[in-house]
Structures are given as C-alpha cells and as structure tokens.
Amino acid sequence: MLRPRRRGLASINAEIRDGIVPAADGLALVPSRPSTEPRGYRTVALIIACALFMEQMDATVLATALPTMARDFGAPVTSLSSALTSYLLALAIFIPASGRLADRFGSKTVFRLAIVLFLAGSLLCGQARTLPFLIGARFLQGIGGAMMIPIGRLVLLRSVAKEDMVQAMSWLIMPALVGPIVGPPLGGFIVTYLDWRWIFYLNLPVGLLGIALVTKFIGQVRAERPTRPDLVGFVLSGLSLGCLLFGFEMTSRSGELVQALSLIAVGLVAGPLYILHARRRQDPILDLSLMRVPTFRLSVIGGSLTRITQGAQPFLLPLMLQVGFGMSAAASGTITIAGAIGSLGMKWLAPKLLRRFGFRSSLIVNGLIASGGYAVCGFFRPAWPVAVIFAVLAACGFFMSFQFTAYNTIAYDEIPPERMSAATSFYATFQQLMLSLGICVGAAALHVGMLATHKTTPGLGQFTWAFLVVTVVSASATLWNMRFSDTAGDELSGRSPPINSLQKT
C-alpha cells in the first residue's frame, strides 16, 4: 500500500497563493522561490552562511590572539577567557527569545538586526582599551550571534521545499565549516603582521555584504498574531542556561572548580523552576511541548548526546597534543584543522547517502562509525606518523559532519510551519548547551583519570580514558536513533514516490 506523501513548506505556500488552503494559524507565509530552481535554495543558504562564517571565523581567530591581547591589556591570559564566556552568556540568554522576535517583527528584519548588532559589537571590540570594555562588547556580539544562528535556520526552513532540505542544509553548513579552517592561520597572520584589532574589523565587510544580500534575496515572514511576551520565562531560562553554560565552560579552567560548580548548581535549580512555569503557560519562551513530536524529540536527544562528544573533542585533543606530545600550539592547531577539512568532504555526499539509505539506517551506522573514530583518537601516541593522525581526524570530521547534517534536517520533518520559530530556538538552545557540557564531561573524565593514577598533570593514559568516556556518550545515541521509524524523513531525503506516480496509481 502506498503511503500518502506529506506536503513540504513550498507546496503549502503554493496552495496558499492559489487559494486552495488558508494560511496556517497565526503565520503569514511569504512565497518562496520554486523548488525546481536549483539556485533558489542555494542562494538562500549561502546568504545565511555568510553570517555563520563570520561568527565561526571570529571565534577561532580570537582564540589564537588571546596571548597578544592579554599583553596589550596588561592582564593574565586566563582573564581573557571572560571575553569568550561573556559571548556564551549572551547566547544562552537570547537564543530562546530569537524565534519569538522573528514572529513579532519578521525573520528578515530580525536577521538583519542580528548582523547589525554583531557588527556593532565587532567594531567596539576593535576599539576596546580595557578588558571590561572588551567583555561588554563581546556580550553585544553574542546578542547578535544568538539571533543569527536560529533565525538563519528559520529563514531557510521557511524558504525551501522539504525535498530540497538536505541539500540546503549542506550548503548552509559548508561555508560555516570554512571558518575553523581559515581562522587559525588568519589569526596567526594578523597577530604577527598586523594588530589584533583587525580580527574584529574583518567582520565589517562580510557583515555589510550579508545585510545587502538579505535585503535583496530573503523574504519576510512574521506571525499575524504574535505570542505574548514571557518575561518570567525569559528570566528563568536565561538564568538557568547562562549559569549552566558559564559553569560548564569554567570547569576546564584550573582553580575555578568551586565557582563552576556553584554556577551549575544555580542553573540546575532555575531549570526546574522554568519547567514549572512553562507547564502553566500556554506559550512559554521555550516550548517543551515540542518534545512530543517524535522526530524532533529523537533528534534533540540523539543529537545532544553526540554533541557532548563533539564539544569535548576540541578541548581534549589540543591538550593531548601539547601536554602529552609536547607539540607547540601552532603545530597542534595545524593538525586539528583536519576535522574541519573532513567535514567539508561529507557535505557533497550527505544528500545522496540519505536518499539511498534513509535517515534511520544512516544515523545508526554512521553514528557508530563516528563514535569509533573518537575512540581511536584516544590511542594517538607521539610515535604515530603525523599523516596518519591527520587522516584519522579528517575521517572523524567526515562522519560526524554527516551525523549533524542528518540530525539538523530530520528534526523539522514533522514540525508544522506555525511552530518553526519555536522549534529553531529550542533546538539551537540545546545545541549550545550540549557543546558546552561536552567540555565539562571531557574535563571531568580527565580529572577522574588523574585522581585514579595520583597524577597532577594528565598523561597519555588519562587522555585515552577521557576519549573513551566521551565515545561511550556519543555511541549511546544509537539507542535513540533506533527509535526513528524506517520511513522517517523520506520526503526530506527524496525517497518518497513522486506525487504524480501516486496519482496515476
């Protein structure tokens, strides 16, 4: 028996334009480019990716320049980590509100405003003469970044037909992956030959180009009846997520474990208070009822477990190469970009593999392979050829990139158009939280290994243990991946029979 095909967003838009069906409740849908025009979704995805590229490159370049910035400010380099965590804090507070802002003022308007805020923060960072000023400017950057991530994805989801979604997601992520590749060598060049302030000034031309392209090519979508502001939920969710993100990040710093645990405790108290509030309100700022949607729930849970490992790897690997192998920071940075290079390769294959094998089988098999790759990283030793280490890391990036492309796409398979803004905010919030939690899990595993062997500095054996721990966390996502139905995401991957053939049958 043939299964009826579910309608994609583009087909719904077409029916609204033709007067076949009324607009979704509370949502004004703007006609998108026809899905038959290959350039349509690519244009939208690449425009949004300009913002993501700017954000990703900024983060990796900044990490390279921290020692130089510390000398200019006359502060210890550990103090500069506050400039990084202030950005994370802004993400935690404002990501939940991003979808609601898009519904009220229009996704195009808010996306442009997000880029403007990011550029304003970048300009102020370049003008900073004191560390507190820099921290405040980074917080302003974070507000813009908090809106760029989920609203950019929301714009794409509302502009692309379901059958083009996998390819569109691949095009969206590709330029963002170039940021970590370009970042380290660009940061070294700027610090060596220019002033570190150019790290932030480089965002200006990219951001201005993004604003111009958004204005010309991106359609406006807003809710006809925006939901009421949720100030109590905003405060409780911001307090919980901010303390958790800040606390998780601080666990990786030496001598700040007590403060980190205190922040995590506050976050764990505020979290249940928010849940109680959300259950009593019809339209909370973070809509927990989205977890009743099967594909969304499984993607959030499976993706969260996988992102814990993904968050731990950038923390553990540089430490292992520098502390365990005795490499310089520059040498270890050259090796660790292998993962980003491998990620780029998968983007071309992801649509074909998902069309051939489907989401469920792909997530199960590829998830185990990707987790196994991180286990291999734990057994790196100085005697290994650098080419072999590079190849293993490239393979890890290759398979993990596919996993996240699948998760990021299948999450929205069953989400109705009127709930897309809430879903993107919810999903982006958990993405940031789990990546930061990965740092905490990796650091905790490393400390446990050191305590068990009575060592004050981690050795290669402790790094092996830590990598195996995070590998188990990632592999446990398989239990949730197996719960996807065999036909989950068939329309997204293009495995469903065409509508015309169904009608003929």
Per-residue confidence in pLDDT tens, the chain, 505 aa: 444 444 443 333 333 233 322 233 333 333 333 333 444 667 777 778 777 777 777 766 676 677 778 778 887 665 676 777 788 778 878 888 887 888 788 888 888 999 999 999 999 998 988 888 988 999 999 899 888 878 887 777 777 777 777 777 766 666 666 666 666 667 767 777 788 888 888 888 888 888 888 888 877 777 666 677 788 988 998 888 888 877 876 776 667 778 888 888 999 999 999 999 988 888 888 888 899 999 999 999 999 999 888 878 877 888 788 788 888 766 776 787 788 788 877 777 888 888 889 999 999 999 999 999 989 999 999 999 999 999 999 999 889 889 988 998 899 889 887 788 788 888 888 887 787 778 778 878 888 888 888 887 788 999 999 999 999 999 999 999 999 999 988 888 777 554 444 444 4
Q: What pLDDT sits at residue 265?
A: 92
CA distance 423 to 416: 10
State residue 366 phi and psi, 5-degree precision.
-65, -35
Are β-strands 222-223 and 27-28 bridged in parallel, bridged antiparallel, or unpaired? antiparallel
Quote the pLDDT of residue 432: 76
CA dist 231 → 248, 277, 395, 470 (Å): 25, 11, 45, 37
| Residue 407 vs residues 402, 403, 412, 473, 495: alpha-carbon distances, Å | 9, 6, 9, 16, 17
> Of 76, 380, 81, 440, which is closest to residue 247 (Cα–Cα)?
440
Residue 216 makes CB contacts below 8 A (sequence gap 6+) with none
Q: What is the pTM of this model?
A: 0.74
How far apart are the C-alpha atoms of 42 and 39, rounded to whole Å? Answer: 5
- State the chain's maximal CA–CA distance in angstroms: 75
Query: Is the Cβ–Cβ distance between 233 and 278 less than 8 Å?
Result: yes
Q: What is the pLDDT of residue 72?
A: 83
| Structure confidence at residue 47 (pLDDT) | 79
What is the reported pLDDT for 177? 61
What is the spatial distance between Cα 313 and Cα 326, in angstroms, rounded to a whole number? 18
At residue 428, the pLDDT reads 83
Task: Tell me, rounded to whole angstroms, the distance of Cα 345 from its chain centroid.
Answer: 19
Compute, in degrees rounded to 10, the torsion defined by CA atoms 229, 235, 240, 241: 60
The tokens describing 271, both together, are: 């979290």
